[in-house]
Amino acid sequence: MLIKISELLSVFPDAEAYLEDRQKTLKDVLDSKTKLIKERQDYNRQNRQDFERWFFDLFIEVFLKKDTKKLEREIKRNDWILNPIKKGNGITEQDIEIAKAYPLMDLIGTDKTIINCPNPDHEDKNPSCSINKKANFLYCFSCNYYADSIKYVQDNLGLGFVDAVRRLI
């Protein structure tokens, strides 16, 4: 299975201490750079005018802020690895990704890619539903029913989204 960024620490648990340390260093560097930029901007505003002010503001924007934007991106990515986003109901973004990746064909218990439509509202006499194995979703050409693994479990077991995710992880 593809490793998601939010799962990296479960694969490399030793990296957590390193990552936390690096995160602290990055935040310190970002703080000092942000402070420096503010000082230069203030100085520029107080002491320069017209073209000169415009020029130095541009200089700050192009050369100094480029660095801080790069730092901010790395900090954000590390945060995402260290603290996968909780969805407020106990499941994480990574749980949803894992649930979505659960093979639909295993779930349905079939090795065929054309099946009777599993939409509870569609009484399908001839198989009219296709499973895209690679993308892991199904589509019914008769009733337009669409489902990934999570939706399939929701509709066929009568569960809400969160419970369906829990069932699949």
Any idea which residue has 């199904």 for tokens? 138
Distance CA 49, CA 99 (A): 58
Distance CA 81, CA 140 (A): 37
Instruction: Give which of 157, 117, 114, 119 is closest to 133, Cα–Cα.
Output: 114
Closer to Zn ion at the Cβ: 98 or 140? 140
Closer to Zn ion at the Cβ: 93 or 155? 155
Strand order in the sheet with 146-148: 114-115, 129-132, 137-140, 146-148
* Phi/psi at 138 (5° precision): -125, 155
Closer to Zn ion at the Cβ: 143 or 159? 143
Closer to Zn ion at the Cβ: 119 or 154? 119
Instruction: Give which of 148, 107, 109, 140 is closest to 122, Cα–Cα.
Output: 140
Write down the least CB distance from residue 149 to Zn ion, Å.
17
Alpha helices in 48-64 (DSSP H): 50-59
Write down the least CB distance from residue 3 to Zn ion, Å.
35
Closer to Zn ion at the Cβ: 5 or 127? 127
Write down the least CB distance from residue 133 to Zn ion, Å.
18
The span from the first CA to the last CA of the chain, in angstroms, equals: 13
Write down the least CB distance from residue 123 to Zn ion, Å.
9
Q: Name the residues that contact Zn ion, by CB under 5 A.
A: 117, 119, 122, 140, 142-143, 145
Write down the least CB distance from residue 150 to Zn ion, Å.
18
